[in-house]
Structure 1
Amino acid sequence: MIFFFGLRSTKIVEKQATIPCSHCEEKQVWFFIHQNYFHLFWIPVFPLWKSTTSVCAHCKQVLNKKEFSNALLDNYKIEVTKAKTPWWTFFLLIAFFALLVFSIILSQCS
């Protein structure tokens, strides 16, 4: 039997920061927060971690969270507290527990 499983991510925050780029000094820096999750047959099972990158709209420089300037890191900390994990990343776990509860209820009725 073949199992398709792995990791995927979905964008949960896309925000423009009013901070100059460390490379070109333009104030067109965007940062993105992605929620990574484990999937089985492309159905989300459970969320794992959040990853963050920033992209300058002018020079296209891409930075990871480790490379953020202090000002961008401060904006990131504000936005990450607002970033909620999507409920559907727990889909297979929710379906499993719903099926378990449903089967318990049916066995009690018999």
Structure 2
Amino acid sequence: MILFFGTRPGKPETKHLFNCTCPYCQQHGTLTAVTQKNYFHIFWIKLFKISSSTVAECNHCKRAFYENEFTEEMNSEFSKTVN
């Protein structure tokens, strides 16, 4: 019997952070956060989430911020849009 298993990424979720200011270029309302989740699968059926990562990018200066680099303003706005 052949068993296909492994990991694969899910669909990315995009959230616009309209009420945030970019810490690098100081532009207001230009941040977009993308969350990517990785899943364990058997026969291409997702069973459970292994990990997730979130990156915010400024549409003006193209600077990217990992989740551990988020400011308090970015964290509060991201948690509002997730819930």
TM-score w.r.t. length of structure 1: 0.60
Cα contact 1:16–1:31 (8 A) shared by 2: yes
The number of aligned residues is: 81
- Other-structure match for 1:67: 69
Q: 1:1-110 residue pairs with structure 2 within 5 A?
A: 1=2, 3-27=4-28, 28-80=30-82, 82=83
Higher helix share: 1
Identity of aligned residues (%): 26
Tell me how far apart the structure 2 counterparts of residues 59 and 41 of structure 1 sit (CA, whole Å).
Answer: 42
**Contact 2:5-2:40 at 8 Å conserved across structures:** no
Consecutive unaligned residues of structure 2, counting only runs of 5 or more, are none
Report which of the two structures shows the higher radius of gyration computed on alpha carbons: 1
Q: TM-score, normalised by structure 2?
A: 0.75
Following superposition, the deviation at residue 2 of structure 1 comes to: 6.3
| 1:15 positional shift | 2.1
Unaligned runs of 5+ in 1: 83-110
- Show CA shifts across 1:37-83 (max 9, x none): 21234321222344211010011111111000110011122223x2x
